[in-house]
A and B are shown apart, each in its own frame.
Chain A
Amino acid sequence: MISFFHYAIEILPDMLSGAWVTIQLAVVCITVGILFGMVLGVARVYSSKYIYWIVTGYVEFLRGTPCLLQLFFIYYGLGDMGLLLKPVIAAGIALGINTSVYQAEYFRGAIQSIKPGQMTAARAMGLSKWKAIRYVILPQALRLVIPSSSNEIIYMFKYTSVAFAVGVPELLAQAEINGAMNFRYFESYLLAAIIYIIMVFTVAKIMAIIEKKVYVPGLQLMQ
């Protein structure tokens, strides 16, 4: 126990630098995920038949394949074809794409749960379809989507750990490096687990606060 604490303090700087990379990676891919997810979700509800099928195929295919595979495809697969990306860029793209298709589904669900009268009322006032989406549908969808979306955000925060597999120096990678250097694998991963738990609990807390902040009476997903 004592020796774990000594060791933990010794490798803490490395681990914290890894945690910082994790946070940055998470912020980037979660942002990308929400923005793309929103666009894809809107496209699945409001676009023409043609675009609908392309978007649906894209979303469904990616939802049916593992994140690790998507990462390897982008890093090794595209690399093999001459498009060499830095590990952290490849990870940002792969994880961002991965989470965006899940967010897309949540946005689609949220948009479809908005009463049709909201759109009709906006159009009746003289708003164009896109303005109605921008000012009436999306603000409501954004609030409705928060519970499921924040689950996905937390999930993705943890899932950034797959980036270690292409050599991104995030938290899990730091645990591996330090574990190998000192032959103390278990303790390194234990410290990683503790740091992840603290970070994930914090993220969950932040999401709960946001959820409270944007609460509007009468605007919840019907269950």
Chain B
Amino acid sequence: MEIIRILISELPQFAKGTLVALEVLAGLLFLGLVLGLAIALAEIFGNTVVKFFATTVRKFLWAIPQLVLLFLVFYLPFDLNPVLAAIIALGLCSSAFQSQIFRGAILSVQSGQIEAAKAMGLSKPKIIFYIVIPQMIRLSIGPWTNEFSSELKDTSLAYVVGVVEIMRQAKYIIAYTFGNTAAVYLFVGVLYFILTRIGTYFFYRLEERLWVPGFEKRS
């Protein structure tokens, strides 16, 4: 069939697009992780002012659609390349969600654990780094995997500011092979599905490896 021949010959283009998508994904998840963690720690351990500031930032980032933030960053008064703009905008949005994940995980670290650490004479930063964060990581992998797969799909939004990721490659291919639109998009769907599955499988394995008795596993 003609369409299969086209898809096979275009595989390198799809591969390029996939790499760009993964680049955006890695960047935005990292930014979201750092910011999200900072927001979560600020909301839990900060003083009243810090807490208020962190909560406000989180709520506003949570309420703005990704596409709107994407355009806002893209049209900032100085030049940003599209990939960087996408990473910043999507990363900011992601940080609002990731902070919620970390906040929940930190809050479910049992207070007895912290008491015990305090009783041993550990300082606050040490308690955070040696007790809270290791336990938090185990507790947050499950929800974080959901965020991962949701952001993997949302890298497609970078399409609108001209990042040549998978959707944009698909658009090019459709344009110069005249038609086959549905088939190409169906193929792209399968591609995303496979990427999502591989990613979540990886995190599932990670969760299993990090599991120690006493932590509830995701079902």
A-B complex is real: yes
Point out residues on A near B: beta carbons under 8 Å.
Answer: 61, 63-70, 72-73, 76-81, 158-159, 161-162, 164-165, 172, 175-176, 179, 185-186, 189-190, 192-193, 196-197, 200-201, 204
Taking a contact as CB atoms under 8 Å apart, the answer to whether B157 and A193 are in contact is: no
- The yes or no answer to B189 lying at the interface (CB within 8 A) is yes
Q: A68-B157, A186-B72, A190-B72 are in contact. Are A159 and B65 (CB under 8 A)?
A: yes
CB contacts (< 8 Å) of A65 on chain B: these are 153, 188-189, 192-193, 196
Q: Which of B125-133, B177-185, B202-210 contacts A (4 or more CB under 8 A)?
A: B177-185
B8 within 8 A of A: no
CA distance A76 to B179 in the complex (A): 10
Q: Is B15 an interface residue, CB under 8 A from the partner?
A: no
Q: Which residues of A contact B182 (CB under 8 A)?
A: 73, 77-78, 80-81
Q: Smallest distance from the beta carbon of B197 to chain A beta carbons, Å?
A: 7
List the B side residues contacting A63 at CB < 8 Å.
Answer: 196
Q: A68-B167, A72-B167 are in contact. Are A189 and B72 (CB under 8 A)?
A: yes
Bound CA–CA A176/B67 (angstroms): 11
Residue numbers in A under 8 Å from B77 (CB-CB): 186
With a cutoff of 8 Å between Cβ atoms, the chain A residues found around residue B72 in the complex are: 186, 189-190, 193
Decide if B64 is an interface residue (CB 8 Å cutoff). Answer: yes
- Asked if A193 contacts B186 (CB within 8 A), the reply is no
Number of A-B contacts (CB under 8 A): 105
Which residues of A are found within 8 Å of B153, using beta-carbon distances?
A: 64-67
Shortest distance between the CB of A93 and any CB in chain B (Å): 15
Residues of B within 8 A of A64 (CB): 149, 153, 189, 192-193, 196-197
Q: How far is the CA of A158 from the CA of B159 in the complex (A)?
A: 18
By beta carbon, the residue of chain A nearest B156 is A66
**17 interchain pairs (CB within 8 A)?**
A66-B157, A73-B185, A76-B174, A76-B185, A80-B179, A80-B180, A80-B181, A158-B63, A165-B159, A179-B75, A186-B72, A186-B75, A186-B77, A189-B71, A189-B75, A196-B64, A197-B64
Q: Chain B: which residue is nearest A77 at the CB level?
A: B182
A161-B193 contact in complex given A72-B185, A186-B77, C-beta closer than 8 Å: no
Tally of chain B residues near chain A (CB < 8 A): 36
Chain B residue, CB-CB nearest to A200: B63
Q: Which residues of chain A have C-beta atoms less than 8 A from B60's C-beta?
A: 197
With A61-B189, A64-B193, A77-B182 as given contacts, are A162 and B63 in contact (CB-CB < 8 Å)? no
A162 to B153, CA, bound (A): 13
Do B68 and A69 touch (CB < 8 A)?
no
Return chain A residues, CB-CB under 8 Å to B65.
Answer: 158-159, 161, 172, 196
Given A77-B182, A172-B68, decide whether A69 and B76 contact each other with a Cβ distance below 8 A: no
Q: A81-B182, A172-B65 are in contact. List 14 more A-B contacts (CB 8 A).
A: A61-B193, A64-B196, A65-B196, A66-B157, A69-B192, A73-B182, A73-B185, A76-B181, A77-B185, A186-B72, A186-B76, A189-B75, A193-B64, A201-B63
- Alpha-carbon distance A72/B186, docked complex (angstroms): 10
